[in-house]
Chains A and B, each alone.
Chain A
């Protein structure tokens, strides 16, 4: 028995060595690539599939708010332009200035008043819109009302608020090349407006006399209530420029020093940023948005105008109070399909209205997307699954192939909730397209969106990718 066991162990060692060698020989091989063999044989094995529905109804409407908070945006929006879709837009800028803290010691023998003017600045990244090849006239007016000092306005000014202004104190007509920047006054990025010398002389004299009106800011604002920079009266329309709010009203005087006249200035600077706002008017007559529904009561939700009433398009131009609401009245029908078992993904593709944009009438680079309901107010941003970053459309403008310029949004989270929402009022739950802050208060670029009366390749599309499993086994 002992002999048998001895030989058995030897044999097992030989066998094991053989097996190890065999296993390594076979294990070194890789699995083959058998292409698509069998596709036709197993593709109908009852597995789940992905189905995309891009014909779901999307209703567009333009939401209109009568004003936006246009104070303290950092920009003095001045100009007027004619937009084929928005009509004529005009903006005037109201502001208050303050005298210098330390007035110069003026000498009646050596110092002489010279002139007064406004200096407003346009930098390269500042907003503008319209045809920049056209000259634009700017006028400076003095505010003649005291509303500035009313406490209510300390809360902020809105774009539909204005004050009475006096006659023009001066004007200048310039052409601005905004991307250099350069003005036709050969003053770099500065636009200079010569003002009425009577006002300048008066301010110079007050400075010479160290008037309490200049040394006490409250007294000064009670007397000099503010300025308003407007486009020229009867301006045919060219460009809207957003100048920096850090402007100057400058009194020039000459001082004789050793027989030479040296130019010196007394600068009146912006008093406070919140006291500067832009008064914006929009003459929609004859434009596609002429029939825009406007509010009749200040407490009502912003009214919506369905796209058929506005040229089968909806619009996003927040400075003008316009944003687009999207509703999906038949989204439930997808979930009621017999093969629907779950949502995979949903993507919203927005194609700007063909012909509505160009290198002049540029598109807003970022358009945000928000939840909304029957109150038509922007709610929480719509995030893509797994992301905490608000979506802005990822636009890559293609001016040569306009239909390839699209805003796209992952609206999976929204659709996942809405596709099974059958509660009352659910058809008013939707999405709101709006330009995100701060561009919403300073940028004039607008977006026109074709509704679903347009051909498929030109209109807004909601693509719902759902997981399909037919009930058969």
Chain B
């Protein structure tokens, strides 16, 4: 009976999750709204984790981190995020400025295959697109007749990855993340009668994107004296071609296809990117982390073409810091983490430059996690408050508050009956 109730509740959650997504106006540009979150143990640290290592959690921030898992440990994480958005700007109707959604963000699995080899696979969002707005305009050829242009876009680009890392000399870990980027961005432009609202003509542009994208990572770590430990990390991704196949379908007012164009496949390029981070721990209780990430979009500006006009894709950078306090308890010869609290801050110059204004994104995070002692589960709740964009130059500012819930399942495998060493 209880299982049935649980199943029903999860079904309700799933259905509601699929029902609505937040309107993100900036997502209509470029490849959509690039997701810089990892939805993991580092989320409460403002996603600062290039140098972070964990024996229990999957740190996707750096593929070199997976070697840090406990030997023979299998772990799985899923994440859900509820987001509340408040919009401000001259374009925003003051009577309707809010939006909220709940979305599934990731599913990842990892395992420590050998004493030095950690591996992980998973599915993460790369970018999302979701927007809609109406714009009346004069029909071409007349200065008196008005029609309504309804613009709507949705879609997502996802990243399925397989990452492996290997530890050398107990202080160096090197990893490779092989990601398969795939997804579809859909843009609809529906011209409607201004009097009846009836559809006059609609154009649907679909862009399918796919290809491999490699990220290389390194972590160097060790102890400094009896109480301190450190970790230095770095990541690098080479420029990669993204195969883009687009179609355009034009329907008239009777929904008869006037044009169905299969455009020749082309390439868009994901930029060269690199990141560097540092982590400093004290008595295995306090941890301070800092990251810097850079994406060289300027380097692919000449070869990429994006829909729309009046904006530019520019190189982006992000800096973040985080601080964590871990609450551990000794059991026999082991210190087991019971809970932790985290705080972080970040500042980002995004890859969008609109009306001469590079869109900035900054905010604070706070995280709290509990590791169940009597079950293989761990729960992580992260609150994030941020501001993206500006109201200057007719732009929109988004004030967002995220509540992310990450569930981690972990278990020792291949122990032949033994749970722990």
Which A residues lie at the B interface, using CB under 8 A?
A: 3-4, 7-9, 11-13, 15-20, 22-54, 341-342, 344-345, 465, 467-469, 473
Contacts and interface: CB of A to CB of B under 8 A. Distances in A.
A417 to B, nearest CB: 15
Interface stretch (B22-30, B34-42, B61-69): B22-30
B200 interface: yes
Contacts of A51: 139-141
A469 B396 contact: no
Contact of B250 (A26, A45, A341): A341
21 contacts: A13-B5, A15-B407, A18-B405, A20-B12, A22-B405, A23-B17, A27-B102, A29-B99, A31-B132, A32-B87, A32-B96, A36-B91, A36-B134, A41-B311, A43-B137, A48-B250, A54-B142, A341-B258, A342-B258, A344-B200, A473-B248
A344 B198 CA distance: 13
B99 A344 contact: no
A35 B93 contact: yes
B147 interface: yes
Contacts of B250: 48, 341-342, 467, 469
A39 to B, nearest CB: 4
B133 A46 contact: no
Contact of B13 (A16, A30, A49, A469): A16
A32 B22 CA distance: 9
Interface residues of B, number: 84
Interface of B: 2-3, 5-6, 9-10, 12-13, 16-17, 19-20, 23, 25, 28-29, 80, 82-85, 87, 89, 91-93, 95-102, 131-135, 137, 139-142, 145, 147, 149, 151, 187, 189, 191, 200-203, 205, 246, 248, 250, 252-253, 256, 258-259, 261, 263, 307-311, 354, 372, 374-377, 379, 394-396, 403, 405, 407
Contacts, number: 217
A473 B131 contact: no
Contact of B140 (A22, A41, A345, A468): A468
Given A8-B376, A341-B250, A473-B246, 6 more contacts: A4-B374, A4-B376, A15-B407, A23-B102, A29-B98, A50-B147
A34 B205 contact: no
B396 to A, nearest CB: 6
Given A16-B9, A32-B98, A341-B250, A46 B307 contact: yes
B205 A20 contact: no
Most B CB contacts (10 A, CB to CB) among A13, A18, A35, A40 go to A35
Contacts of A47: 187, 189, 203, 205
A432 B361 CA distance: 66
B405 A38 contact: no
Contacts of A54: 141-142
B311 to A, nearest CB: 5
Among all A-B residue pairs, the 8 with the closest Cβ atoms:
A33-B93, A29-B100, A47-B203, A47-B189, A26-B100, A33-B96, A37-B91, A35-B91
Contacts of B9: 16-17, 19-20
Nearest to A54: B141
A30 B307 CA distance: 28
Contacts of A17: 9
A143 B149 CA distance: 71
Contact of A33 (B95, B205, B309, B377): B95
A155 B191 CA distance: 56
Most A CB contacts (10 A, CB to CB) among B85, B137, B151, B261 go to B151
B397 to A, nearest CB: 11
Contacts of A9: 2-3, 6
Contact of B133 (A11, A20, A34, A45): A34
Contacts of B102: 19, 22-23, 26-27
A34 B354 contact: no
